[in-house]
Amino acid sequence: MSKSLTELHQQRGRLLERIAYQRAELRLQLQPLQNASDAGNRVFTLISAGLQYLKTHPLPLLLAGAALVLFKPRRAWRWFWRGVGIWRSWKVLRNWLSASGLSRWL
């Protein structure tokens, strides 16, 4: 006995519903992998951007190497963090001046 056309359409509809449900379940189960992949992509992009910056601006890398050669590594490390502190302070001051309308003094 062959199935009627109506029964085949109903069976097809049930199968399509089951497929949609399974796709939604799979999407939920794979979400942690997607998040990990996105984080990996962000790290890779950050590293490649940093390497590109060092290729176009080699002076900071040369200065860091010279500081390690001239000073002891611990002392060079201390001076590095002092420089980072000064740089951060400059950024805060620059943002504050531009927000207050005093950016013409820069």
DSSP 71: S
Q: Quick one: pLDDT at residue 86? A: 93
What mean pLDDT comes out for the span 41-70? 88
pLDDT for residue 67 is more than 60: yes
pLDDT for residue 106 is more than 70: no
First to last CA, the chain: 89
- For the chain, the structural domain boundaries read 1-57, 59-106
Residues 6+ apart with CB under 8 A from 76: 64, 67, 68, 70
Q: What is the CA radius of gyration of the chain?
A: 30
pLDDT for residue 1 is more than 70: no
